[in-house]
């Protein structure tokens, strides 16, 4: 997982100019057109054909990302439509259907959990991968937060904040250590707080862990979880997917009323956002 490529900086100013022109003059015309906006099928699946769903489109104009780098790079390898044009439009939905959630929480939910599958919602949303391409992922949160989290995902997309994986924790048999080690972003998981008998906020569907390897949990005593995230316990670093105080990610969640574990005192959970602040 290489961080962003410095040589790009050289061509950024002209690119930004072009993008600014497109945004202002409306000369782009590609935004939302023709279904050609997203590069086709790399890896995790990109084709979006949501069924009976609610769409959310946060924010209007196509903005070149405020973060380092990827504004308008052509996809390496040359196939597919190059993305020098307007930014692809975010597609996200709340998947309806009685069993949409139930079928996807076979490992992460069981009887006795504090919320039931009917109280949870499956979100399906576009995100920018570390490969600088658009993918579609899934996330489960409590129904009370589904809409606003979809808006958050839309903002992260617009800012081109990269997410390495967005899979349900069931893909890792609800094993949080495995999910974290894979740098997977996830929400609902009916589990206890690590090293405690109380329910984690994830068990209520009101917490999300974002790029956990790049944003590890660091205890007061210096223990790092996941262990492979140790290089990123140094928060002065700047690498793709890292979250920093008051950045676009923290602000997007804050606007939804969710708070960041990086602001905790003592132990800090840099991957963790929750509606309760716990
Ligand atoms: Zn968490």
Backbone angles phi, psi at 199, to 5 degrees: -65, 140
Domain for residue 149, yes or no?
yes
Question: Is residue 84 situated within a structural domain?
Answer: no
Distances from the Cα of 73 to the Cα of 12, 19, 42, 243, angstroms: 9, 12, 16, 22
Per-residue pLDDT tens for 168-203?
Answer: 999 999 999 999 999 999 999 999 998 899 999 999
Do strands 224-225 and 217-218 pair parallel, antiparallel, or not at all (unpaired)? antiparallel
Between the CA of 75 and the centroid of ligand 1 the distance, in Å, is 32
Res 1 pLDDT > 80? no
Residue-wise pLDDT for 108-124, tens only, equals 999 999 999 999 999 99
pLDDT at 195 (0 to 100): 85
Confidence of residue 30 (pLDDT cuts 50, 70, 90): very low
Q: Specify the pLDDT at position 83.
A: 52
Cα(201) to centroid(ligand 1), Å = 7
State how many domains the chain has: 1
pLDDT above 80 for 89: yes
Is the model's pLDDT at 8 over the cut of 70? Answer: no
**Dihedral in degrees, nearest 10, Cα atoms 230, 181, 133, 66:** -40
Residue 217 CA to ligand 1 centre (angstroms)? 9
Whether residue 166 is predicted with pLDDT greater than 60 in this model: the reply is yes
Q: Has residue 9 been placed in a domain? A: no
**Are 186 and 170 a contacting pair, CB within 8 Å?**
no
Which tokens belong to 16?
Answer: 């930004």
Question: What confidence score (pLDDT) does residue 247 get?
Answer: 98
Rounded to the nearest 10°, the torsion over CA 22, 127, 244, 144 is: 110
Using a cut of 0.75, tell me whether the model's pTM lies above it: no
Question: What is the radius of gyration, based on Cα positions, of the chain?
Answer: 19
Give yes or no for a contact between 97 and 118, defined as CB atoms under 8 angstroms apart.
Answer: no
Lowest mean pLDDT among 52-66, 161-175, 207-221: 52-66
CA distances from 186 to 8, 67, 151, 261 (A): 31, 22, 16, 15
Distance of alpha carbon 94 from alpha carbon 77, whole angstroms? 33
Tell whether the model's pLDDT for residue 151 goes beyond 70: yes
For residue 78, name the pLDDT band (cuts at 50, 70, 90): very low
The pLDDT tens digits of the residues spanning 260-276 come to 999 999 999 999 999 99
Tell me how far the alpha carbon of residue 267 lies from the centroid of ligand 1, in angstroms.
13
The CA 204 to ligand 1 mean position distance, Å, reads 11
Q: Please name the residue ranges forming H helices in 32-175.
A: 146-158
Burial of 178 by CB count in 10 Å (0-12 exposed, 13-18 middle, 19+ buried)?
Answer: middle
State percent of the chain over pLDDT 70: 69
Taking the C-alpha atoms of residue 188 and residue 274, their distance in angstroms, rounded to an integer, is 11
| pLDDT score at 29 | 31
Question: How far is the centre of ligand 1, averaged over its atoms, from the C-alpha of 273 (Å)?
Answer: 7
Residue 84, pLDDT score: 60
- Residue pair 138/153 in contact (Cβ under 8 Å)? The answer is no
Q: For residue 185, how far is its CA from the centre of ligand 1 (angstroms)?
A: 10
pLDDT mean over 55-73: 38
Q: Which domain does 113 fall in, by range?
A: 40-58+89-274
């Amino acid at each position: 997982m290489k961080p962003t490529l410095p040589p790009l900086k050289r061509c950024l100013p002209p690119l930004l100019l072009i993008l600014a022109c497109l945004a202002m003059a409306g000369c782009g015309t590609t935004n939302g057109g023709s279904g050609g906006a997203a590069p086709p099928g790399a890896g995790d699946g990109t084709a979006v054909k949501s069924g009976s769903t609610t769409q959310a489109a946060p924010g209007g104009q196509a903005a070149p990302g405020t973060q380092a780098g990827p504004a308008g790079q052509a996809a390496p390898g040359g196939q597919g439509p190059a993305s020098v044009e307007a930014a692809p439009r975010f597609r996200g939905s709340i998947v309806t259907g009685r069993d949409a959630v139930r079928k996807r929480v076979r490992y992460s939910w069981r009887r006795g959990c504090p919320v039931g599958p009917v109280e949870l919602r499956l979100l399906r949303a576009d995100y920018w991968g570390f490969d600088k391409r658009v993918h579609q992922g899934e996330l489960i949160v409590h129904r009370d937060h589904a809409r606003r989290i979809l808006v958050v995902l839309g903002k992260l997309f617009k800012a081109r904040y990269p997410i390495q994986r967005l899979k349900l924790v069931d893909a890792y048999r609800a094993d949080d250590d495995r999910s974290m080690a894979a740098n997977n972003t996830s929400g609902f998981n009916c589990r206890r707080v690590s090293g405690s008998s109380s329910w984690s906020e994830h068990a209520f569907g009101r917490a999300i862990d974002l790029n956990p390897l790049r944003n590890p949990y660091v205890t007061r005593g210096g223990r790092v979880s996941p262990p492979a995230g140790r290089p990123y316990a140094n928060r002065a670093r700047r690498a793709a997917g890292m979250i920093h105080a008051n950045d676009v990610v923290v602000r997007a969640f804050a606007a939804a009323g969710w708070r960041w574990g990086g602001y905790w005192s003592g132990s800090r959970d840099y991957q963790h956002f929750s509606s309760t602040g716990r």
